[in-house]
């Protein structure tokens, strides 16, 4: 009797030992793709919107599946990276992007005029242009925050 019980106990341990590796083997492949996927996509150091264009280019290169990062501007890089990561950008393009571009064009013209006034030695006109440029910069910041 004792021999039969020990044989049954030994058989029970063998079957339990055989089942455990099968269970572990079944669980391991399920975990492996998750671990590999986590390794493939590096985590950004800070929020994408706060990154500079240079940082976005480096991050795009780390991802590896984005082509032409060096020829893209910041907005294009953001959309390409979000697309590669599978992030849905609900806001889309900024609402006031065209207005901001117009104001920045005005700033560029005023900077040219300011430089001409500086070369001519007209301090009063330089100060006028400086203030106008400052107001326009504030306007772009307000538009960017609104959109």
H and E: helices and strands count for the chain: 5, 0
Threshold 0.75, pTM exceeds: no
From 89, 86, 40, select the one nearest 63 (Cα to Cα).
40
pLDDT score of 90:
58
Q: What is the pLDDT of residues 4-47, one digit of tens each?
A: 555 555 555 555 444 444 444 444 444 444 444 445 677 777 88
Q: Where are the domains of the chain?
A: 1-39, 41-93, 97-146
CB 127 within 8 A of CB 110: no
Output DSSP code: residue 43.
P
């Amino acid at each position: 009797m004792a021999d039969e019980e020990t044989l049954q106990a030994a058989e029970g341990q063998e079957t339990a030992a055989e089942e455990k590796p099968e269970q572990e083997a079944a669980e391991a492949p399920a975990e492996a793709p998750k671990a590999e996927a986590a390794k493939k996509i590096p985590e950004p150091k800070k929020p994408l919107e706060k990154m500079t264009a240079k940082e976005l280019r480096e991050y795009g290169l780390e991802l590896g599946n984005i082509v032409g990062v060096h020829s893209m501007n910041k907005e294009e890089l953001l959309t390409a990276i979000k697309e590669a990561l599978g992030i849905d950008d609900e806001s889309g393009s900024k609402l006031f992007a065209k207005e901001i571009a117009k104001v920045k064009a005005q700033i560029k013209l005023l900077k040219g005029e300011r430089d001409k006034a500086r070369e001519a030695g007209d301090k009063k006109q330089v100060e006028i242009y400086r203030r106008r440029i400052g107001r326009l910069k504030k306007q772009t910041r307000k538009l960017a925050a609104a959109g």
